[in-house]
Structures are given as C-alpha cells and as structure tokens.
A = this chain, B = another copy of it.
Amino acid sequence: MPRPRQPRLTRQLIVETATAVIDAEGLPALSTRRLAAELGVRGPSLYNHFATKDEILDAVADTVTGAVDTSGFASRDWAAALRDWAWSYRRALTAHPNIVPYLAQGPGRRPAALAMADAVYGGLVRAGWPPARATHIGAALRYFVAGSALGSFARGFVEDPELYAAHYPHLRQAHRLAEHQQSVDEGAFALGLDALLHGLVAEYARTVDPVESARPSG
C-alpha cells in the first residue's frame, strides 16, 4: 500500500523532522529508520537526499545556528550588540538544547556558525578591540551561552525534597527553585550576562578608549 500522493521528501522537510525528533527525544533517538518512519517513508529513501546521517545532523545544526541574529554588530555600540547577540544565541540554542553537544564539536564547515563567528569578531575589532581580545570575548560569550543551553541547574533534581535535606542542608531551599526551572535558568543567564558585559565595558574604558572614558572625571 504505497502512499499515493503524499508530499515527497525534500532536504528541508527532512531537516525539520529530524530537528523535531531530536527536540522531543534527544540526539541518540534519531536513527535513520526513526526519521524515515516519521516522514512516512522507509530508511533508505533518505539517502537520495543526504549521503550520510552526519550530513543530516550538520544541516540541523546549521539551521539552528542560522537563526541567530548578529545584525547588531552593524552599529557602533559593541556592548549592546554583544547583549542582543547573546540573547538571540541563547534563544536559538534553548529552543533545541539536545543538539547543543553536537554543535559544540566545533564550527567545522557549517556556514552559519562561521558567518556568526565572523560577524562577532569583525564587529569587536571594528569597535577597537585588539584582535586577540576580540577572539577571547567572542569565545567567552559563546561558552556562557552554550553552557546555559546545555543543562539547567535545576534539571535532574529528583522530586522528593527530604531526600536531600539530611546530607545537603543548604540545598533544601535551592531545590525548591527547581520547580521554577525555566525562570532560574533565565535569571541566571541575565545575571551572568549583565556581569560579563559590566566587566567588559570597564576593561574597554581602561584599555581601549581611556581618553574618552577619562574625560568626565579626569
């Protein structure tokens, strides 16, 4: 009973469906058979559109990264651009947390990841940061965003509070916050990002543009 006039496979449809499976059940759950079944075809059909499973994963990864907005770096305000980029980056990754370990294997040859790195680095250098410093700043923010998307603090705590109370007294309250996992994660990200940018602005004033910064007070 071949399905008579169903939508045929396309690369985009395969990528979208693969993303959905990964989001719902994790990276190890994505097999070619599972993906094909989800699309209403058999496993081998996928190989008419992708040479290997890794090509599919790369396409998923590139699509996720492609959703990140780096347009802020077109302006002059590098700190605002970093903040907007970091939040956009975080939104893109937290929408698909299960793919993050794969993403972190490196930008590799994925166009979107390379374009993102290029935009951030270029924007910081244009703002006056020394090249080596620009690399460090981009990497530091990438670490923070990737780490925040990778695993929440709350995730993984078991249900019974009393189970912890005896051995880890300070966690009694902390664990209660696990009920509000998402708000904890977002609050921690907001706090960390603000602190990071605060420190970077201070260093910029000290090392990159001391004249401009010193003008008001001395």
Contact = CB atoms under 8 A, between A and B. Distances in A.
Interface of A: 100-101, 103-109, 111, 114-115, 117-119, 121-122, 125, 131-148, 150-158, 164, 167-171, 173-174, 177, 184-185, 187-189, 191-192, 194-200, 202-203
What is the copy number of this chain in the assembly?
2
A140 B90 CA distance: 13
Given A131-B174, A140-B192, A145-B147, 20 more contacts: A101-B104, A106-B157, A107-B157, A111-B167, A114-B164, A118-B169, A121-B170, A135-B153, A135-B184, A136-B184, A139-B153, A139-B184, A139-B188, A140-B148, A140-B191, A143-B147, A195-B197, A195-B203, A196-B199, A199-B199
Contact of A185 (B131, B139, B148, B174): B139
Q: Is the interface of A mostly helix, strand, loop or mixed?
A: helix
B136 A168 contact: no
A138 B177 CA distance: 13
Contacts of A153: 117, 135, 138-139, 142
Given A132-B187, A195-B200, A196-B199, A108 B156 contact: yes
